[in-house]
Structure 1
Amino acid sequence: MCEISIIVPVYKVEKYLEKCVDSILAQTFTDFELILVDDGSPDRSGAMCDEYAQKDSRVRVIHKENGGLSSARNAGIDVAKGRYLGFVDSDDYIAADMYELLYQEITQSQADLAICGIYDVYEGKDPVTKSVIHKTVSADEALLLILQGNNISVHAVNKLYRRELFQNLRYPEGKYHEDSFVIVDLLEMCQKVAINSQQKYFYYHRLGSINTEKFSDKQFEFIEAWEINERKLKGKGQAIEAAAHQRVCFAKFMVLDKIFSANAEKQVPQTKSLIKDLRQNYFFILRDPIFTKNRKIAMTSLMFSRSLYKKFVLLQRQQLAS
């Protein structure tokens, strides 16, 4: 028995795995087990996991057939011995005191869930520092903050969970954006959520070339997740309902942007309906305080012309990549 089980799905990440695992083993909080789930990785990642297990008794390795991120997380949950669960993605890394901070927050406030902040890491760019929220809130208050997404994100990886939350819950296998599918169900089981949004998790973004990026229909599952969540949140009050609808619109923007970035609009028949749906929400988007000024400008350009909107999207992508 240990206090925390940290679960890391591993697949084709030999370039990033060392930095990830070393950052976990260097934690100032030491009463944890690290479960590395080799999800049928074809590169050296699985062997690297075994090497870590030989060097550090806190490391356990599961080797399994490839089943995707959710399948790997679920395999880790099934064997976890900790009172609390945490997740780290194998191409990311964490600050040395991340789990110390999360453990203090969840135990001192007797919460069901603790959340810290995330740095978005892009090659050649300094991560943006955000303002800090530090308070213990109800599940509904936490839900609203996550839906708004300014300081607190939906990601599974910047959180520490009371193990019982996963007694009857698992990540949906075969789904894209699996975090979005479970967040509402997780919060419904919480009484209190401890938030300290100091940025302790480093989320690494690998940007593909604009000319080579492919579009997959799996991206539409991002919209599906938030449409399901919007239905679940009906009757939760005006603020939460508006935030849930904002998330649906945001998901449609993200998918439309990926279609245009991949020059796939002629191959994806849903492009027209996406544009139609966003245009029907024009005034909602303009009034909503969560959408940025740039997003509202982009939406206005979409009202005039899809080609103008596409130019705006590609310009934004080039600025991120440069």
Structure 2
Amino acid sequence: MTKISIIVPIYNVEKYLRRCIESIQKQTLKDIQIILVNDGSKDNSLAICKEYGAVDERIVVIDQPNGGVSSARNAGLEVAKGEYIGFIDPDDWIEANMYESLYKQAKNIDADVCMCDYIIEKNGKSVPIKMNINKDNLEGEEIIKKIIANMIGSSNLNSGSQTIMGSVWRIIAKRDLLEKNQLKFKVGIPLMEDLLFCIEILLKSKKVGVNRGAYYHYLQHGHSAVASYRKNMLELQLKVYYFIQEILSKENIYPIVKERMDVRYVSMYLTAIANEARKENKKNIIDKVAYIKELCKDPLLKNILKEINTNGYTFRKKLILKAIKNEFSWFLYFYYSALLRLLKKQ
């Protein structure tokens, strides 16, 4: 059996695609299947996929109409034949020993999932991001408390509080586990679809390997979904939030992670307020401030803010939360407008 099937969803990435494919081809683990899913690209991405597929028999090329990243990954899952499944985004690249290291660790402990650290690549700088987990092997409730909880949200609302990024490109997962539980990516969610998938996989896993290697190079674009104005930002985030809630409730573990879900809910509204204050938002100031006031009135948000323990929070964060409680919408607008301008200059 092929050891790992690696699925790459591709849409208009001719600029980066060769680097991505070649980093997979150079893996020290040779027994792999490389599944390139062209999701209706309008540039030369498909031609590049076919070019590599013609000279490497490990490569499978799928060409489909544009259906989004979840649809493309699901198409890859349909033809995957590896013992484990891995995922790579087409503008990223990996170290040559990534899959050999993950596979060996997974096999040694018979892990359902094995995950690694990664490196953020932005503006020519490389920043390694490490998981704050002191064990190489997690089982049972440890998986929930040490990984899933930290994927859902941080332990508090302070800026820079540590979380674990719920991205499928940092894991390999047993194909049998996915097939047995009929796990697929949710289509129609353009934001954090892989977080939902990761949570579902981890909840079904009996054993998870934690690998210390930072093998994955994650190219962070300035125009990413959370770094630019989106008209329906809160709607999209709420959709993800309620999907997570549904998944956790189904597995009867919601009470274990309720505090993290509360932090996530407040964080979504902080993001929505900041999003509304963006310069790219073409509404006039009066309408922006009015919408921020509506956000502050959300009943669940108000209930969470009544209960949330702010001990250890920075003065600035306490000030923001107080402003939301008191619906000081003008203050919030000017605060986030200034903050966003400052961040843009950095």
Say yes or no: TM over 0.5.
yes
Once residues 187 and 71 of structure 1 are traced to their aligned partners in structure 2, the CA distance between those partners, rounded to angstroms, is 21
3-state SS of 1:55 partner: coil
The alignment's TM-score, normalised by the length of structure 1, stands at 0.85
Contact 2:310 2:318 in 1 (8 A): no
1:98 maps onto 2:98 in alignment: yes
Instruction: After TM superposition, give the deviation of residue 142 of structure 1 in Å.
Output: 2.4
Instruction: After TM superposition, give the deviation of residue 7 of structure 1 in Å.
Output: 0.2
Aligned 1:1-322 pairs, distance under 5 A: 1-130=1-130, 133=133, 134-144=135-145, 145-149=147-151, 150=162, 152-167=164-179, 168-176=182-190, 177-208=192-223, 213-217=228-232, 220-234=235-249, 236=253, 239-261=256-278, 262-263=280-281, 266=287, 271-277=292-298, 278=301, 280-282=303-305, 287=310, 298-299=320-321, 302=324, 304=328, 305-315=331-341, 317-319=343-345, 322=346
Cα distance change, pair 66–307 in 1 and its aligned pair in 2 (3 A): same
- Tell which deviates more after alignment, 245-254 or 79-88: 245-254
Once residues 49 and 334 of structure 2 are traced to their aligned partners in structure 1, the CA distance between those partners, rounded to angstroms, is 48
Cα distance change, pair 117–253 in 1 and its aligned pair in 2 (3 A): farther
Once residues 292 and 35 of structure 1 are traced to their aligned partners in structure 2, the CA distance between those partners, rounded to angstroms, is 47
3-state SS of 2:168 partner: coil
3-state SS of 2:36 partner: strand
Once residues 193 and 332 of structure 2 are traced to their aligned partners in structure 1, the CA distance between those partners, rounded to angstroms, is 30
Once residues 213 and 253 of structure 1 are traced to their aligned partners in structure 2, the CA distance between those partners, rounded to angstroms, is 15
Cα distance change, pair 15–117 in 1 and its aligned pair in 2 (3 A): same
Instruction: After TM superposition, give the deviation of residue 287 of structure 1 in Å.
Output: 3.2
Once residues 16 and 120 of structure 2 are traced to their aligned partners in structure 1, the CA distance between those partners, rounded to angstroms, is 16
Cα distance change, pair 128–238 in 1 and its aligned pair in 2 (3 A): same
Cα distance change, pair 222–95 in 1 and its aligned pair in 2 (3 A): farther
The percent identity for this pair of structures is: 32
Cα distance change, pair 307–216 in 1 and its aligned pair in 2 (3 A): closer
Cα distance change, pair 282–18 in 1 and its aligned pair in 2 (3 A): same
Once residues 312 and 139 of structure 1 are traced to their aligned partners in structure 2, the CA distance between those partners, rounded to angstroms, is 45
Contact 2:276 2:288 in 1 (8 A): no
Cα distance change, pair 132–307 in 1 and its aligned pair in 2 (3 A): closer
3-state SS of 1:82 partner: coil
Letter in 2 for 1:310: Y
Aligned residues: 317
Once residues 292 and 78 of structure 1 are traced to their aligned partners in structure 2, the CA distance between those partners, rounded to angstroms, is 48
Letter in 1 for 2:297: K
The alignment's TM-score, normalised by the length of structure 2, stands at 0.80
Two-structure CA RMSD over aligned residues (Å)? 3.0
Once residues 59 and 315 of structure 2 are traced to their aligned partners in structure 1, the CA distance between those partners, rounded to angstroms, is 46
Letter in 1 for 2:125: K
* Match of residue 156 from structure 2: none
